[in-house]
């Protein structure tokens, strides 16, 4: 039996951090690991919005090809980047324990606030742009893509006054000192999967390696929450360019999911929050998605896709 697990990942510093984190978890089992960096469409094209590149698989497709051709054993992704539907031959086998899921504001000005007048905030997320338009209509937004270091350089050059990012990435890269505000999930609801790492495999991966991944990498509570979130996203047929959101939490044997969609201009938002027993997590996600669609989400989605 091959005692090495080959890990495919993007080549950015954050992606490599995530791959090394998964590798460290696996090494406790006695298996060796090998990290294989793979460049994706999302890494190659930085001067256009994600929606213009393609809404599905922007950061995962090339890595999934490695799973399909057998050049890697597992693929490590930010869970928020994984499309709601993946190739039939593949499966998501594990989710790491979730980091704090909040969005944060970072700036070189430690007194920066979103309440200021005449400010510009950088983000590459359609959801964040829509939330800013909804909650902070006086703020200007500018599209800034690339790894965190690239975005910081663009902020330093004057492209924007602050950046809106996920706490997890900022924290993992050691830039906590630049955080000026942590935004509550009660109104800036995270996208599906924010804060956790997904491990994807080919269904034909050896039973022994699958058992290693499940035992040493998977975090059961996070997985239960992601089952609900991803069921919502799949039913909604959302993607990276769709300003949908979904965040589940667990208490005792109940899962609470808060999810919905917001129009690109931020004027209309449909948000539903409901709870269900753990064994009904998938059904909870589906039912909330169907309710969102029936309450006008289908119209919002149609309008968004018409403009894409």
Active site residues: 81
Q: Is residue 107 a contact partner of residue 161, using CB atoms and an 8 Å limit?
A: yes
Per-residue CA distances from 267 to 119, 130, 191, 270 (Å): 20, 8, 19, 10
| CATH of range 1-101+196-218; options 3.40.50.10800, 3.40.718.10, 1.10.1050.10, 3.40.190.10 | 3.40.190.10
179-210 pLDDT tens trace = 999 999 999 999 999 999 999 999 999 999 99
Return the domain boundaries, the chain.
1-101+196-218, 103-182, 220-308
**Structure confidence at residue 305 (pLDDT):** 86
Examine domains 103-182 and 220-308 and report if their fold is the same: no
Positions of the chain with pLDDT under 50: 46, 53
**Structure confidence at residue 11 (pLDDT):** 87
| CATH tag, 103-182 | 3.40.190.10
4-29 pLDDT tens trace = 999 999 988 999 999 999 999 999 99
The structure tokens listed for 285 are 């996600």
Place domain 220-308 in its CATH homologous superfamily: Porphobilinogen deaminase, C-terminal domain (3.30.160.40)
pTM of the model: 0.91
Sign of the CA dihedral with 95 first, then 96, 98, and 101 last:
negative
**Structure confidence at residue 53 (pLDDT):** 43
**Structure confidence at residue 41 (pLDDT):** 67
The structure tokens listed for 5 are 């697990």
Sign of the CA dihedral with 220 first, then 221, 222, and 223 last:
positive
Coil, helix or strand for 178?
Answer: helix
């Amino acid at each position: 039996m091959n005692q090495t697990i080959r890990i495919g990942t993007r080549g950015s510093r954050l992606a490599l951090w995530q791959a090394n984190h998964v590798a460290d978890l696996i090494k406790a089992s006695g298996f060796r690991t090998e990290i294989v960096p793979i460049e994706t469409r999302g890494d190659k094209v930085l001067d256009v919005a994600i929606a213009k590149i393609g809404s599905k698989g922007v950061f995962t497709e090339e890595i999934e090809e490695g799973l399909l051709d057998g050049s890697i054993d597992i693929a490590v992704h930010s869970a928020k980047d994984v499309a709601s539907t993946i190739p039939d031959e593949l499966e998501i086998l594990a989710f790491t324990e979730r980091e704090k899921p909040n969005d944060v504001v970072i700036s070189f000005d430690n007194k920066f606030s979103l309440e200021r007048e005449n400010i510009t905030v950088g983000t590459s997320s359609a959801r964040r742009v829509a939330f800013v338009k909804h909650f902070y209509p006086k703020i200007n937004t500018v599209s800034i893509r690339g790894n965190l270091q690239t975005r910081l350089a663009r902020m330093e050059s004057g492209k924007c006054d602050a950046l809106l990012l996920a706490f997890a990435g900022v924290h993992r890269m050691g830039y906590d000192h630049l955080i000026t505000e942590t935004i509550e999930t009660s109104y800036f609801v995270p996208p599906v999967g924010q804060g956790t790492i997904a491990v994807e495999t080919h269904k034909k991966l050896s039973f022994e390696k699958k058992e290693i991944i499940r035992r040493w990498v998977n975090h059961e509570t996070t997985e239960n929450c992601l089952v609900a979130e991803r069921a919502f996203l799949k039913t909604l047929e959302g993607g990276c360019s769709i300003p949908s959101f979904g965040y589940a939490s667990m208490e005792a044997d109940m899962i609470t999911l808060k999810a919905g969609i917001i129009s690109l201009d931020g004027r209309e938002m449909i948000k539903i929050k409901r709870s269900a027993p753990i064994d009904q997590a998938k059904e909870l996600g589906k039912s909330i998605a169907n309710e969102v669609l029936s309450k006008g989400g289908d119209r919002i989605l149609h309008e968004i896709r018409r403009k894409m």
